[in-house]
Amino acid sequence: MRPASVSDYRELARRRLPRVLFDYIDGGSYAEATLAANVDDLNALTLRQRVMRDVSRLSMQTELFGQTLSMPVVLAPVGLSGMYARRGETQAARAAKAAGVPFSLSTVGVCTIEEVAAAAGTAPWFQLYMIKDRGFMAQVLERASAAGCPALLFTVDLPMPGARYRDTRNGMIATNVAQKLSQAIDGLAHPGWLWDVQLNGGPHTLGNVAGAAAELRTITDFWAWIGRNFDPSVTWDDIAWVRERWKGPIILKGVLDVEDAAEAVARGVDGIVVSNHGGRQLDGVASGIAALPRIAEAVGDRLTILMDGGVRSGLDVLKALASGAQACLIGRAWAWSLGARGEAGVGHMLQILRGELRMAMALTGCTDVRAAGPHLLDR
C-alpha cells in the first residue's frame, strides 16, 4: 500500500511493530476520552471555503524562536522512538531537516543529543523532563547547550505518569516470565522490526539519562528508574533554576488553563504548547484545540503559542493556526510514519501534510500562514 494519509501510516505501523510498541504510540490514559476528543474536536471545526481569490502564490513559511520553518509544523518529542526504527530519532531528525522543520528530542529517547545532532547535521530542540537529581539535570542541560540545541521544551504536565491501561494490559514493562515470553513471541512475529531494531538497532538504552545510574542496562531498568525519579515537587519557581542553566528560548509544554498561561507570561518564558500530552495524562480534560482560543485571546500577544494533540492532517494545522496557534507539534503522526517506513516514511508524511496545508490554504483564500486567523473558520 502506498500511504496517502497519516491514518494510512498508522495502519502500516500497526502491522510492522510489536503490539507493546504500537500501543505505546497509539494509546492514551484511562478510557482514552481526551485522546479521542483531540481528534474529534479538530474534525468538528469547519473551514470557510472562499472562491475567486488569487491563490497562485502561497507562503507556508514562518519563524519560531529565530528559526525559519518551511511550514508551521514541529516534530514533537516522542519517547522510545529509537525502538520504532533503527536509531529512530536520528532518522526522524534527518527527515525533519530535509523538510525544513524542527525535530524535538525526548529526554527519554533512545539516541543521545550528540548522536542526533551528528546524524542530522543540526541540533534538535530538546525536551526536558525534570528528575529529582538536579545535578544530573544540570549536566543534561549543559550537554544540550553545548550541542547547540536551539530551544528547550520544558514538559510540565507529567509530575507522575498517567494510567495507560493498554501498557498495563500488554505487559509493556515485562516483570514476569509470562510477559517476557509473550513479548519475545510478539517480536518473532514481526521479523522486519526484529531484524531492523532488536537485532541491529542497539544499544537499547535511554541515551540522555544513561549516565544517571550505572545499573541501568535495559529499557525495563530505565523505565522503572524514571518512574522513581520524575520530580513531582516541581513548581513555577523552578523555571528560574532552568533559566540559570539555559540561555535559549524556554517553551512550557503542557499548558491547558488560562491562569497557567498567564503565569507562564509572568515567569518570562518564551512560549507555551497548549497540550494535554496527547491524551496520555489526565483523561477527561479539554482537547488542545478546545483550550487554544481562550488561551490565545488571553496571552497571545505576549508569547509564542504552539499547540499539539490530534493533528493528523494539513487541514488540522490550518484549523489550529486559525484558532490562535503559530505552529503545531505533531507526535503520533511522525512516530507512526517512522515505525512504518523509517526516515522515508517520516519524509513522505511531511510531504503529505504540506500538500494538504497548501490545498486548505488555497480553498480558504489564505495566501500566507502568518495571516491565518478566526476569519478562516465557519462559526
What is the set of active-site residues? 277
Q: Is the dihedral of CA 82, 14, 172, 333 positive or negative?
A: positive
Nearest alpha carbon to residue 154 among 128, 132, 133, 126:
128
For residue 2, give every residue at least 6 positions away whose Cβ sits within 8 Å of its Cβ, in sequence order, or none. Answer: none
